[in-house]
Structure 1
Amino acid sequence: METALMRCFYVLLSVVICHGFHLHGPSDPLIVHLGGSVMLPCFVEPPLAMEELEVEWKRTDSETLVHLWQEGESRPESQNQRYHERAHFFTEEIAHGNFSLFLTNVTHEDAGLYKCAVYTNLHSDETLIEIKEIERLIVSGGHVISAYAGEDVTLNCSVDSHIPPENIEEVSWKKIDEDILVLFYQESEVLTDSSHERYRDRVEFFSAEERNKGNFSLRLKSVRTEDKGLYICLAFSGALSDNTTVEVLQLGFSSMHIGIFVLCILGFVFGSLILGYLSFISFKNNDDSRRALAIQCAHVLCPNITMSIVFILWGITEGFFTEAATCSALNFVRILFLLWIALHLKTFQDYPHQLINRLAISLQFGVITLVAYLPILVDLWYKINTLGKVFIVGGLLLKLFLTLLYVLVVVCCRRPVKIYRITELQITEIINVLRIFVIISLYRLHPKYLTLAIFPLLPFIWFFCHAVLKRLFLLWISVMMILEVLSASVLIYIHYDFANNVKERDTLTSLTAFLHILTMMILFTSLSPFSETNTVTTHASSEEDLRQGEEEVTEIFEEEVTKSDSKNTGTQRSLSHLVVFVFGTAVVVFVNAVALLVELILKSRNGQRTVDLRVILLPTECVFAVCCLALQLFAFWQENRERFREDIKRLRGLCGCKQTLTISPPENHEHELEKLATASQPSRS
């Protein structure tokens, strides 16, 4: 009895001495980020002795053991498998009374009520900690898509969050490999204007009702080969974010692409090869019949019209409208260029013949300039101030007025008029000046560079130096050519020095070279009436003979101007003209077709553009134009050979060189006039 009383006394004494202990925990429930880490606080003051100390963490709803400290060490083998390697003690802090639990990689199932219980030999206590809500933002739906070009596909993206979908701050779709924004959603509004121009009007989310359910899948319409690649769907809400990726694999060809393949092959095989062979047979047999003319026209029209249509279809399918428009225009206006050198033009009536010769080069120059530079002007329109816009409108109106004036003079006036040649050169040089202004504005250069615009004006001014023209025609034409080359060099220098985009620089440089080759051809076309008229007058070596032949020269002047149209390179049956003609109808068309087909194949395989087709087509067209210019220069030299010799003699005289002065007998003047009158009559052939 005494022993029992003593034990009770010692127990009460120990309680009084220890005063027990009390666990502390958080006063409010915890809110945890999904996938993040959280510390569940549990501590005691003052610290307890480590002997016989046991700390136990459990779920109150299922009595699941989360973690256990026993006999001075952690017991991970006793914890539930769900918390294995995710729930940890702060081992070094337990001796200081800190029994908090560190939980990592929080999942949905971790939400609930946790109990921290501490046991000693003399006392025990517990506290409750609640993980009330798991903040989550889960984006799922990653998958791989294979589709045919031209189809509509859906790129899946589902957003799961404790936040209502209408309160999600941002959801964006991007093309990773090119860092292009495809579609953007912000604060319950779809911002379609923020989409890259390649995807504008081709992408959309589902309805608002679907978005409220967390469905932010992207519908991509009319899939193109360039759409191949990796896409990412990113969602943001405060500090939370998540993403998923969708890959669009190699795309098959659509029916439109197959049609482009077939048209390219048919256009080249039938239009260039078969009709080219028939055209060569007609040339070999000197066949000038209407059947031969029809074959010749079909040989010119079929491949070029086919390739023009092919590039339009390609532009519609792939969305490269500016590039496709330029390539299509090159193929279309090449028709007149080929007719200009065609071997059977003499079978045309006089008036259509004159129209082709007068409009072929200038029309090609005008169309290519308009098609190639119009998109640049449109982009420039939104970047410049009001004064710049007024300048652009004024330049376009000026070009339109001069072009209409020239067309009216050429088409309405059936009689040969020398003034239309001058108007043609005026329009060309004015357009070259306007192009310099556009390029300087495009690259935002300093106004001092506007002085470069004087270079295209120099040939324009020199053209009207008739004093030099009458006395030293060779010197005059040489200066004209030098000034044209200088003008082209200035434009090429601007492109290479200031263009940052390599593709844009190469394209505009090739375009500039091509347009200046056409300008040079227009120059020699404009010189033709002057050269032949002056050639006629040089046959009279004295003023008396000139007065005697004045009436005759006046009568044959209009015939000579008509002949200047007829003496085009396309009307002469020579091997050089045949080679250039075949190059334009076969080789150039072949390069166009192969470039387009290779681009389609590589793009379908890689999903990215390989090269700007204008960089291939424009240099090829330049080579063809240079060949035509060479034929024109040779014909010009043949027509003015005697006059150039006289000019060389005059230049030697001006330089102080000795020369032998040869005086022709008077009777030779009548002989020369007789030869001139005979040559002015139309050939029976």
Structure 2
Amino acid sequence: MRGSSCVLMSVLLMIADGLIVKGPSGPLVAPLGSSVVLPCSVDELLSVKDLEVEWRRTDSEALVHLYQEGESRTESQQQDYQDRAHFFTDQIQHGNFSLRLDDLRAEDEGQYKCKVYIQQESGETVVQIKVNAERLLVSGSSRSISASVGEDVTLNCSVDSHIPPGDFEEVSWTKTDEDIQVLLYQDNEAHSSNERYRDRVEFFPAEIPKGNFSLRLKNFRTEDKGVYMCKVFAGGLSANATVLLEQLGFSALHIMMLILCISASGSALLLFCLIYCRSNTNDTVFRLQMFLVFCPNVLMFLAFVLWGVSEGSLFESVSCCALYFLRPFMLLWTAPYINNFTGNIKTWVRKYSSRSEYIVFSAVFYSVLFKSAVDKSLNYTGFEGVMIIVLFVMVILFNLIYIIALLLKLIGKSSERMITIFDELAEISFNILPSLQFILIFYSFGSARGGFIIVAVLPVFTSVMSYDWNTEFDQDMGCSPALRRSVWLTVMMLINAVLVYFYITALENEKDRVGWVCVIVFLQTLWALVNFAYSFDDFDLPRVAAVYVFGSVGVVLLNSVALMIELILKTVNGEGATGDMRIIVFSSELLFTLILIILMVFEPWITPCLQSCTKSMKSCRAAAAGSQNQESQSQNQNPAEAHAMNPLLNTQHQENSRSTGTEEAQPDSVVSQS
């Protein structure tokens, strides 16, 4: 009985006390300029219906914040607290009515009352704020900063504090809209870990002792625009300032890029029209063809150079520049006018131009890959780091040997012994290079995890490279050319599919993995094309004009338009359509290379079809020309000769005269006159 009475008394006391509102156990101490949270909550909020929360100063009854009818009534706040006092609106349904007060001032010190009304009940709590006299003020730019692409810009950040410069614990610059750390000052040293800003951001060392931590951003890019925060930690205090960085429209570099892209596509279309839509002499057509091979590609090369300076990443711009610098090699190899070349140039174009593109592009690509591995050198220690350096040196060395051999054959003035030696070394290099490249890619992207894969795949890969498909299948097995090429195509598809799968697996942690995959797949396809040309010396590439036009005109048009769209979108919106131009550039070039492989492999079937089509077209043209000549001759003859040479026409006229009862005297009169 006594126990039940105690429980009843407790319940009556709770009802009498009303709603229980919780606050802090003691006063809150915060430095000037900081943000402070004033706690106020209830244990359980059964309903938000008719909920009202008031925050007021106890000394002046000034309204700091009001929550009523499901929303904050900022218009009722006292002017001193507008834009400084905020609720955590997502926590209200959980019974949390805490108030965040920003930019703390000396006059904010005092007591604050939180009063909660829920239906017929109410409760309140009091929170006291004490402002720390030690203050840490960080100031930035009062207005937004604008810059053009390619310019250097300074983001201001200065510290007004009594703390000595040597006591600064940490100063960090971050890009808040993307949560990227731009630059960190710690232990009296500056560190930049993000690839986008590496070697492009710095402090002013002479100004740091004065509390000036302004940031210098070099070579402004479109993606650099946004909100930057300078946050300072010193003496147990912290403060921050923000700076808004904006872009000033199209820069001179942007305009030059647009001009180059328009010039590249325009020159490709103009030369195509002059070559295929107008009749010219053979010499003129040959000169125009040479312009078509070099001019648009050189312009696109320059456009991607400017793209790398202003917008693109190092890996993206170098890869695209290298491709367009080397595209003329492939176009010369596929050109219909290859017979116009003479001497060593003709031999070199037929046999070595495609190999030249593969070897030189491999050297550039693996140099870029090595740079990427060096940037991540902290992740490679001991044996892995040594392996990457050794493999890279070997790959570049073998590439140089092959390039020297190609140059000796092109020049043709060296001794036969020298040419033979480098030719043998080049053949060894060509067989070994893909294996070394495979290992280098896996160590750079996949690290030692690919050790078992390398051991398992490498022997098969090397044997495929060194196998003489043409001779072995022809002499030992007596297979037809079509069967030999079909077997080769099947094996190449399987090998490349396995390699590409391993590459994708190794690239799973890369941010720009799609761009890397596009480049690697293109390189593997180009290797397959060169391997076919190396293995089947007796093949003759079908000279299909449509394929050549696609490679020389279509690819340039596609990539120039894509680059212009990407540039405009990044300038206007700050973000492009693809984010990596390698995706479009190397995908289009991959399609062109695949078409060439199909033409080479199925040449025994394609060549007869092309020959029959050519004969049919010639016969049709001859028939059309003969009919046109006959019509022109009949028109040039006089009526008497035409009447005499066409007896059928005379007979028809006579029958018509008998049937109508009239005589056609006009022909006779014409004959008599003649």
1:414-469 Cα offsets, whole Å, 9 max, x none, are 99999999987754442221121112212122421112122322322432684533
Q: Alpha carbons of 1:376 and 1:83: their partners in 2 closer, same or farther (altered >3 Å)?
A: closer
CA displacement at 1:357 relative to structure 2: 1.5
1:224-250 per-residue CA deviation (whole Å, 9 max, x = no partner) reads: 111011211101013311112112234
Q: Deviations over 1:122-158 (max 9, x none)?
A: xxxxxxxxx9971111222254223221223222223
Q: Which residue of 2 aligns with 1:513?
A: 521
* 3-state SS of paired residue (1:236): strand
Residue 508 (structure 1) shift = 3.4
Give distance in 2, aligned partners of 1:504 and 1:82: 49
SS of 1:223's equivalent in the other structure is coil
CA distance in 1, matches of 2:335, 2:131: 87
Alignment of 1:94-243 (within 5 A): 107-108=105-106, 134-142=133-141, 143-187=143-187, 189-191=188-190, 193-206=191-204, 208-209=206-207, 211-243=208-240
Counterpart residue identity of residue 594, structure 1: V
Measure the CA separation in 1 of the matches of 2:102 and 2:511. Answer: 52
What is the aligned partner in structure 1 of residue 614 from structure 2? Answer: none
Task: Give the drift of 1:493.
Answer: 0.9
Letter in 2 for 1:214: G
Which residue of 263, 280, 286 maps to 2:276? Answer: 280
Corresponding letter in the other structure for 1:136: R
Provide the residue aligned with 1:626 in structure 2.
594
- Deviation digits for residues 531-561 of structure 1 (CA, Å, limit 9, x no counterpart): 4xxxxxxxxxxxxxxxxxxxxxxxxxxxxxx
Provide closer, same or farther for how the CA distance between residues 393 and 635 of structure 1 changes in structure 2, counting only shifts above 3 A: same
| Map 1:465-480 → 2, pairs under 5 A | 466-470=471-475, 471-474=477-480, 475-480=483-488
Is the 1:503–1:612 contact (alpha carbons within 8 Å) kept by the matching residues of 2?
Answer: no
For the residues of structure 1 that align with 2:344 and 2:36, how far apart are their CA atoms? Answer: 89
Q: Does the 8 Å contact 2:563/2:581 carry over to 1?
A: yes
SS at the partner of 1:146?
Answer: strand
* Structure 2 residue 310 is matched with structure 1 residue 314: no
Question: What is the distance in 2 between the residues matched to 1:401 and 1:37?
Answer: 68
1: CA distance between counterparts of 2:35 and 2:585? 57
Structure 2 residue corresponding to 1:340, chosen from 330, 333, 338 = 333
Instruction: Measure the CA separation in 1 of the matches of 2:131 and 2:462.
Output: 81
Based on CA coordinates, which of the two structures has the bigger radius of gyration? 1
What is the distance in 2 between the residues matched to 1:433 and 1:387?
14
- Cα shift readout 1:159-210 (whole Å, capped 9, x = no counterpart): 22232344322221111233322222235x341x43533323433334534x
SS at match of 1:304: helix
Q: Deviations 1:389-418 (Å, cap 9, x if unpaired)?
A: 334323432343344335435643899999
Distance in 1, matches of 2:520 and 2:212, equals: 51
Q: Structure 2 CA distance, aligned partners of 1:83 and 1:231?
A: 27
- Specify which structure has the bigger relative contact order, considering alpha-carbon pairs within 8 angstroms and separated by 6 or more residues: 1
2:612 matched residue in structure 1? none
Aligned residues: 493
* Alignment-derived partner of residue 330 in structure 1: 323
Q: 1:164 to 1:150 in 2, by over 3 A?
A: same
- Letter aligned with residue 288 of structure 1: N
Q: CA deviation at 1:260?
A: 0.7
> Which deviates further from its counterpart, 176-185 or 292-301?
176-185
Counterparts of 1:436-451 in structure 2, within 5 Å, are 436-441=438-443, 442-444=445-447, 445-450=449-454, 451=456
Which deviations, in whole Å up to 9, do the C-alpha atoms of 1:549-597 show, x marking residues without a partner?
Answer: xxxxxxxxxxxxxxx7xx5544xxxxxx211121112110011111211
SS in structure 2 at match of 1:135: coil
Q: Which residue, 457, 461, 464 being the options, matches 2:462?
A: 457
Amino acid at match of 2:200: R
Correspondence for 2:491 among 472, 477, 483: 483
Matched ranges for 1:431-580 at <5 A: 431-441=433-443, 442-444=445-447, 445-450=449-454, 451-463=456-468, 466-470=471-475, 471-474=477-480, 475-501=483-509, 504-529=512-537, 531=538, 567-570=540-543, 577-580=544-547
Q: Is the 8 A contact 1:345 1:353 kept in 2?
A: yes
Report what 2:120 is aligned to: none
Partner of 1:244: 241
How far has the Cα of 1:296 moved from its partner? 1.2
Structure 2 gaps of 5+ residues are 1-27, 38-56, 63-77, 82-100, 110-129, 610-674
CA deviation string 1:273-324 (max 9, x = no partner): 1111111146x55x312x2221111111110110011111211223522211
1:453 aligned partner, one-letter code: L
Change over 3 Å in CA distance of 1:421–1:478 after alignment to 2: farther
Return the letter of the residue paired with 2:226: G
Shift of 1:259: 0.6
Structure 1 pair 368–218 and aligned structure 2 pair: CA distance change class (3 A): same
SS at match of 1:174: strand
Contact 2:470–2:536 (CA<8 Å) still a contact in 1? no
CA shift in 2, pair 1:467/1:595, >3 Å? closer
Alignment partner, residue 672 of structure 1: none
- Change over 3 Å in CA distance of 1:150–1:636 after alignment to 2: same
CA distance in 1, matches of 2:102, 2:272: 78
User: How much does 1:267 deviate?
Assistant: 1.6
Tell whether the 8 Å contact from 1:300 to 1:339 is kept in structure 2 after alignment: yes
Bigger drift between 135-144 and 407-416 goes to 407-416
1:255 to 252, 272, 287: 252
- The one-letter code sitting in structure 2 at the alignment partner of 1:138 is L
Change (3 A) 1:75 1:172: closer
1:645 paired residue number: none
| Deviation readout 1:629-683 (Å, 9 max, x if unpaired) | 2333343557899xxxxxxxxxxxxxxxxxxxxxxxxxxxxxxxxxxxxxxxxxx
Secondary structure of the residue aligned to 1:172 is: strand
CA-CA distance at 1:76 after TM superposition? 4.8
RMSD (Å) for aligned C-alpha atoms: 3.9
> Residue 374 of structure 1: CA displacement?
1.6
Q: In structure 1, give the amino acid aligned to 2:360.
A: V
Give, in whole Å, the separation in 1 of the partners of 2:563 and 2:601.
33
Map of 1:56 onto structure 2: none
Report SS of the residue matched to 1:150.
coil
SS in structure 1 of the partner of residue 230 of structure 2: strand
* Amino acid in the other structure paired with 1:603: K
Letter paired with 1:205: F
Normalised TM-score (structure 2): 0.65
Q: Distance in 2 between matches of 1:373 and 1:499?
A: 15
Separation (CA, whole Å) in 1 of partners of 2:103 and 2:305? 56
Q: Is the 8 A contact 1:230 1:248 kept in 2?
A: yes
Kept in 1: contact 2:268–2:552 (CA 8 A)? yes
2-structure distance, mates of 1:628, 1:82: 74
State the alpha-carbon separation in 2 of the partners of residues 622 and 75 from structure 1. 76
Q: 1:104 to 1:145 in 2, by over 3 A?
A: closer
Task: For 1:453 and 1:421, locate their aligned partners in 2 and report how far apart those are by CA, in whole Å.
Answer: 24
Q: Shift of the alpha carbon at 1:83?
A: 12
Identity of aligned residues (%): 35
Alpha-carbon distance in 1 for matches of 2:501, 2:238? 49
Q: Which residue of 2 aligns with 1:54?
A: none
Equivalent of 1:590 in 538, 557, 578: 557
Give yes or no for contact 1:181–1:196 (8 Å, CA) kept in 2.
yes
